[in-house]
């Protein structure tokens, strides 16, 4: 009789702790517990499907019931080890929590706990998908789980620990298993294909690992299906055609289009992928994974250990990371992630995806206010450094006034530097309005608090802005370091000079002995009517600045 075929997921199931892929933290803890004789009575393995929860439970059961045990390296040769590996041991009972979730089954289990093991040292109960037990079943298990007989061990496995009662969780040692990194999946699949005498491209292995989403069983089942479909030679094209995945070069092309702001190229690439039937939901998830790796490189440097992907992609990621900064990557990820949830329920997935691509490209080109201020400060430092390096021009000698009887001096006297030209009140008012308008784009509330304020005095680079006494309490809400930085930056743009801003209440500001704020030099006119006010040049300028109109004239 021909030997029955065994699928790769069963054939390559790990039999020792050292063979478990990607769960070293769990395997090491269990081996140390066995070596130190610190064995608990209940264990809970938590994690997504196909990452080794049941496999580790079986290995742990073999380690406890091996004839050489308890040992961290079961022999796999004795009857106990072989029976546990084959799933027909009398002392190791594997129970499906989904189909045996009633209180009657748990009561039966509780009654059988009292009997000693048939051959091994322990009677071990492995309950898979334990979260499927009913509340009554959990309650029936509580007392036995807390104080079981010395020869009984419980091992639970679940993909949804939130559904397990807290009273059960508190009685177990919990181990959280992780998704297996793509690089480890590729390495393990290479080992399998070499043993199975199958030739497979590196890109095909990467595509299988990407589609498995960290699950070893899914990766092995996919490889098994591809061998049946393709024979002993597998290419990336075969993987993509069978499972509807997108080639990594297409994801890289889509990423390049977003980075370079090529909207037409990005939309054309998406159109081509949609027309050949690719899964757009999966494509968006793969694109987000790619940008996640790009973010790691732009923030933390070229640390390959943090890249969730095969080593073949690292060079491409480095090239893309050299053309974009971390802030832009974050904005792109926000735009794409916002579309991921909506795309799942959208009737036209392509339209939503196209909108997400356009938003991502726009987000790439945006610069936030913090970035603008940083660039302005950097430019300011460069200009200051340039002015310090430039040689100062010697001052021109000033003429010396002498009377006819005064002999000429041996050297001309240097005249004092003339004071800076004073700023006119309209210019200050216009600059202040400009600064307040730009502050309102960042914090609209601050702009409302500044309505009615006006420059009171400007002297030696210091501008004092006054609040009406009726609204004096608004000052403490506006007078913050961030608001001052924004206002001072905008005032400098208008006035072309450094400005130090200070807020005050109008009545509390003492008049300057030598005010430098001066009005426009013109003869004073007596304004009596609305027409006079409208024709006054200074009032015209104020109306243009504040976008206002004259409502009433009071004498």
Residue 482 placed within a domain:
yes
Number of compact structural domains in the chain: 4
Residue 541 placed within a domain:
no
Residue 548 placed within a domain:
no
Q: Give the model's confidence band at 383: pLDDT under 50 very low, under 70 low, under 90 confident, else very high.
A: low
Asked whether the predicted pLDDT for residue 114 surpasses 50, the reply is: yes
C-beta separation of 213 from 309 below 8 A: no
| Secondary structure class of 42 (helix, strand, coil) | strand
pTM of whole model > 0.85?
no
- Using a 10 angstrom Cβ sphere, with 0-12 exposed, 13-18 middle and 19 or more buried, the burial of residue 434 is middle
What is the span of the domain harbouring residue 50?
8-176
* pLDDT reported for residue 231: 85
Residue 261 placed within a domain:
yes
Residue 370 placed within a domain:
no
Asked whether the predicted pLDDT for residue 528 surpasses 80, the reply is: no
- Do residues 25 and 126 both lie within one domain? yes
Mean pLDDT of the chain: 80
What does the alpha-carbon distance between residue 367 and residue 387 come to, in Å, rounded to a whole number? 28
Residues 293-331 pLDDT 10s: 888 888 866 555 667 666 667 778 888 888 888 888 888
Residues 56-68 pLDDT 10s: 999 999 999 999 8
Q: Name residue, tokens 């050489």.
A: 68
C-beta separation of 227 from 262 below 8 A: no
- Do residues 119 and 236 both lie within one domain? no
* pLDDT reported for residue 125: 92
* pLDDT reported for residue 304: 58
- Do residues 14 and 31 both lie within one domain? yes
* pLDDT reported for residue 498: 85
Residue 111 placed within a domain:
yes
> Lowest-pLDDT range, 240-249, 251-260, 393-402, 458-467?
393-402
Strand partners, 157: 45, 128
Q: Give the model's confidence band at 534: pLDDT under 50 very low, under 70 low, under 90 confident, else very high.
A: low
* pLDDT reported for residue 16: 92
What does the alpha-carbon distance between residue 34 and residue 533 come to, in Å, rounded to a whole number? 95
Q: What is the CATH number of the domain that holds 273?
A: 1.20.272.10
Q: Give the model's confidence band at 401: pLDDT under 50 very low, under 70 low, under 90 confident, else very high.
A: very low
What does the alpha-carbon distance between residue 34 and residue 30 come to, in Å, rounded to a whole number? 6
C-beta separation of 261 from 293 below 8 A: no
Q: Name residue, tokens 């030696």.
A: 460
- Do residues 439 and 307 both lie within one domain? no
- Do residues 234 and 265 both lie within one domain? no
């Amino acid at each position: 009789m021909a030997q029955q075929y065994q699928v790769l997921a069963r054939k390559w199931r790990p039999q020792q702790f050292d063979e478990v892929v990607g769960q070293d933290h769990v395997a090491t803890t269990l081996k140390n517990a066995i070596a130190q004789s610190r064995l608990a009575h209940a264990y809970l393995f938590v994690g997504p499907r196909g990452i080794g929860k049941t496999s580790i439970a079986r290995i742990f059961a073999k380690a406890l019931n091996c004839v050489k045990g308890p040992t961290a390296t079961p022999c796999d040769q004795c009857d106990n080890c072989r029976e546990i590996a084959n799933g027909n041991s009398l002392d190791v009972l594997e129970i499906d929590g989904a189909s045996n979730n009633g209180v009657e089954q748990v009561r039966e289990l509780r009654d059988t706990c009292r009997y000693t093991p048939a051959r091994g040292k322990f009677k071990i109960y492995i309950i898979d998908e334990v979260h499927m037990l009913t509340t009554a079943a959990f309650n029936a298990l509580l007392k036995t789980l807390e104080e079981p007989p010395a020869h009984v061990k419980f091992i639970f496995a679940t993909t949804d620990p939130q559904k397990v009662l807290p009273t059960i969780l508190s009685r177990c040692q919990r181990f959280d298993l992780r998704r297996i990194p793509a690089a480890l999946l590729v390495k393990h699949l290479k080992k399998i294909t070499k043993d199975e005498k199958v030739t497979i491209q590196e890109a095909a292995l990467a595509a299988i690992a990407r589609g498995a989403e960290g699950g070893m069983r899914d990766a092995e089942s996919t490889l098994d299906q591809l061998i049946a479909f393709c024979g002993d030679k597998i290419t990336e094209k075969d993987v993509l055609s069978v499972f509807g995945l997108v080639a990594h070069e297409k994801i890289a092309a889509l990423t390049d289009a977003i980075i370079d702001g090529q909207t037409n190229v990005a939309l054309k690439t998406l159109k081509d992928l949609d027309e050949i039937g690719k899964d757009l939901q999966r494509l968006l998830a793969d694109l987000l994974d790619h940008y996640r790796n790009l973010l790691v490189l732009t923030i933390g440097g070229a640390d390959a250990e943090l890249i969730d992907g095969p080593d073949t992609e690292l060079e491409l990621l480095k090239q893309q990371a050299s053309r974009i900064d971390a802030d832009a990557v974050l904005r792109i990820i926000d735009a794409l992630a916002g579309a991921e949830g909506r795309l799942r329920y959208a009737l036209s997935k392509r339209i939503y995806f196209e909108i997400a691509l356009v938003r991502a490209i726009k987000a790439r080109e945006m610069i936030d206010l913090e970035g603008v201020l940083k660039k302005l400060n950097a430019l300011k430092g460069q200009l200051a450094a340039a002015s310090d390096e430039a040689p100062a021009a010697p001052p021109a000698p000033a003429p010396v006034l002498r009377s006819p009887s005064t002999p000429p001096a041996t050297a001309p006297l240097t005249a004092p530097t003339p004071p800076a030209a004073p700023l006119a009140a309209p210019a200050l008012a216009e600059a202040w309005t400009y600064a307040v308008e730009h502050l309102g784009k960042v914090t609209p509330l601050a702009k409302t608090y500044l309505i009615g304020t006006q420059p009171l005095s400007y002297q030696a680079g210091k501008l004092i802005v006054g609040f009406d006494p009726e609204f004096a309490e608004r000052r403490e809400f506006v007078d913050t370091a961030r608001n001052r930085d924004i206002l001072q930056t905008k005032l400098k743009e208008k006035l072309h000079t450094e400005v130090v801003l200070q807020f005050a209440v109008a009545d509390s500001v003492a008049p300057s002995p030598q005010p430098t704020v001066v009005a426009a030099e013109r003869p004073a006119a007596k304004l009596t009517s609305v027409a006079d006010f409208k024709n006054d040049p200074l009032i015209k300028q104020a109306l243009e600045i504040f976008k206002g109109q004259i409502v009433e004239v009071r004498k």
